[in-house]
Amino acid sequence: MNKAIQTALNEQIAAEFSAAYLYLAMSAHFVEQNFNGFARWMRAQSEEEAQHAMRIYGYLLERGGHVELGAVTPPPKKFGSPLEIFRAALDHEREVTKSIHDIYELARSKKDYATEIELQWFVTEQVQEESSAELTVEQLTRAGDDVSALLLLDHQFGRRDGD
């Protein structure tokens, strides 16, 4: 495996675990604020990000690459309103999309077709991730400070299954 691609994939593993930590911290914040539905949604998101990291981990090993686990970025200690939190989640998903696209472009430039194919799954996944976050931000924007609307959304988010 090309060393630059290996390095980029190792960095993406750390980024995915950092995302898992971020969403887990957001989940804890929501529990503390008695928004258990939003908390459940964020916890499922955290688990999904950890699965993404493990998928890349497994791919690297399957290709004979070397896994080098980097530092996980600690999440913020404080969070704001549900809308602010989901806006931060959307911004984060956009960063992840850019990172995946950058690695995909690197794989393409190095003619690493297997990595391109593996990353195609992530490209598709990020379309769904961004769409979901955008919809949530839109719904929370419409809800504004209406407590009833926030509680209804919280209830709906609590019905998310672990993906």
Q: Which residues in the chain show pLDDT less than 50?
A: 162-163
CA angle 34, 75, 65 (to 5 degrees): 130
Encode pLDDT of 94-132 as tens digits: 999 999 999 999 999 999 999 999 999 999 999 999 999
Cα–Cα distance list, 108 to 18, 36, 75, 111 (Å): 26, 43, 32, 5
Residue 109 belongs to a domain: yes
Any domain includes 93? yes
Q: CA 72, 115, 93 angle in degrees (round to 5)?
A: 45
Asked if the structure places residue 162 within a domain, the reply is no
Q: 34 in a domain, yes or no?
A: yes
Output the pLDDT for position 159.
Answer: 85
The pLDDT score that the predictor gives to residue 100 is: 98
163 located within any domain: no
Residue 67 lies in a domain: yes
- Is 88 inside any structural domain? yes
Number of domains in the chain: 1
- Does residue 144 lie in a domain region? yes
Domain assignment of residue 130, given as a range: 3-157
- Domain of 113, CATH number, reads 1.20.1260.10
- Residue 160 is predicted with a pLDDT of 67
